[in-house]
Structure 1
Amino acid sequence: MIHIGISAGHGGTNRGTSGGGLYEPDLTLDVACKSAAMASWSSVYRPVLIRQGDMHLTHAERAGIAKRAWCKAVVEIHFNFSSDPTMDGGQLFYRRDDKAGRALGVEIMSRTGRDYGTWASDFRYKGDIAFPGVLAITEAYADKGISCALVELAFLSCAGDIQWLKRPGAIDKLALAIYSGCEAWARGEGGDGV
């Protein structure tokens, strides 16, 4: 059985972003826990919660937890913020050389029912964009031989995304997208090796 890490971004002293009364570390943990609960009966993969409470974990600590749990891949769950309040939807980030991470992320994001963009996280050459954090996260897992899909599920700076997130069932829908995306990835080519 394949082990897939479900990593709720931020937590503890690392508060991430917020908007409309919603806080990133709370949202990511809610989505991660619900997704892991849905997957608890999966015959294809075992979910491994990387962050299980309101605590700060470094990128290296998260990758270490995933490595000790024999994870082949990790889904890093985040919510985004932009100075442009019209930016909405989701984003997928992965290392350019991580085909399994990309495939896992596409399986997840295609199930959210939301528009999303996809970027390979070779951001060393884009110093004007705030992507060094994404690179640090994906590299921490790569250093342990683990694939990573970093999913930004919505913008907490966009009134439309905030309104959508506050709808009944929205968080469950995101959790289901992660669960079913991981299930599909584990059943398909992702299960053949990273």
Structure 2
Amino acid sequence: MVKIVLDAGHGGKDPGALANGLKEKDITLALVLKAGAYLTENYQCDVIYTRKEDMYLSPSERARRANEAKADVFCSFHINSAENPSARGFETFRYPKTAGKTAMLQMLVHEKVMNEMKKHHVLNRGMKEENFAVVRETEMPAVLTETLFISNKEDARLLKSESFLDQVACAHAVGIAQAAGAKERTVPAETKTLYRLLTGTFSEREEAEEKAGLLRRAYGWIVHVKEEK
């Protein structure tokens, strides 16, 4: 089964970026848990989290956990910040000069998330390359995403919206699943329950047939007369 590692950036003693009443470590964890839940419910895959609670892990520890799990793909979730309060938007990163499945992972995740971001008029900052430890030290296709700027008031407003986080997390999940080749779960056909309608018992077949005829003509029911002994 396909193994997917989701990494919630920062945590514990490292809160990440702080602004507008938000902490990066809290938002990344929320996104990861939402994305993981969506993947588990809709795809045949094994989801592994570097953290599921507020705890500190170094970048190298995150990469090591993914490598030990022999994951097929890795995605690290982050929230951006800048001194310039007007900076905003979404961007993704992969390790410099990587191509093939890694580039495909970045393209699919970026595309799916931006499809949601466009609904909120969020700036597309593009697909980029950077020497981040979590994409450098991982042995599988890996991508790091920066969802909006916590330092921008409009972006922060979106980051405070539960429905927005749901949309972004699901978009991440779909892109990751497609890149990993995870199969969608099939929903079993709903089992229909049939109910038998008893209209009475008659001593004469003619009487029973007459009653059945009335029901057919009046309601269009399919009524059969069955002999019982």
Which category of TM-score, normalised to the shorter sequence, fits these structures?
A: 0.7 to 0.9
Q: TM-score if structure 1 supplies the norm length?
A: 0.82
Contact kept in structure 2, 1:80 and 1:154, CA below 8 Å: yes
Question: Residue in 1 aligned with 2:135?
Answer: 138
SS in 1 for 2:54: coil
Query: Can you list the C-alpha shifts for 1:10-46, whole angstroms capped at 9, x where unaligned?
Result: 0011111022111100000000011101111344432
User: Does the 8 A contact of 2:72 with 2:180 survive in 1?
Assistant: no
Number of aligned residues = 173
Q: Is the 8 A contact 2:92 2:144 kept in 1?
A: yes
Q: Between the two structures, name the one with larger relative contact order (CA 8 Å, sep ≥ 6).
A: 1
**CA separation in 1, counterparts of 2:152 and 2:165?**
16
Tell me which amino acid in the other structure corresponds to 2:125.
Y
Q: Which has the larger radius of gyration?
A: 2
1:157 aligns with 2:151: yes
Match of 1:170 in 2: 164
Of 93-102 and 24-33, more deviation after overlay is shown by 93-102
Residue 104 (structure 1) aligned with residue 105 (structure 2): yes
Separation (CA, whole Å) in 2 of partners of 1:2 and 1:119: 26
- Equivalent residue number for residue 83 of structure 1: 83
Q: Is the 8 A contact 2:3 2:71 kept in 1?
A: yes
List runs of 5+ in structure 1 lacking aligned partners: 122-133, 189-194
- Find the aligned partners of 2:163 and 2:42 in 1 and give their Cα distance: 22
Q: Which residue of 1 aligns with 2:202?
A: none
- Distance, in Å, in 1 between the alignment partners of 2:137 and 2:148 is 24
RMSD: 1.7
Letter in 2 for 1:47: V
Under a length normalisation based on structure 2, what TM-score does the superposition of the two structures give? 0.70
Letter in 1 for 2:104: A
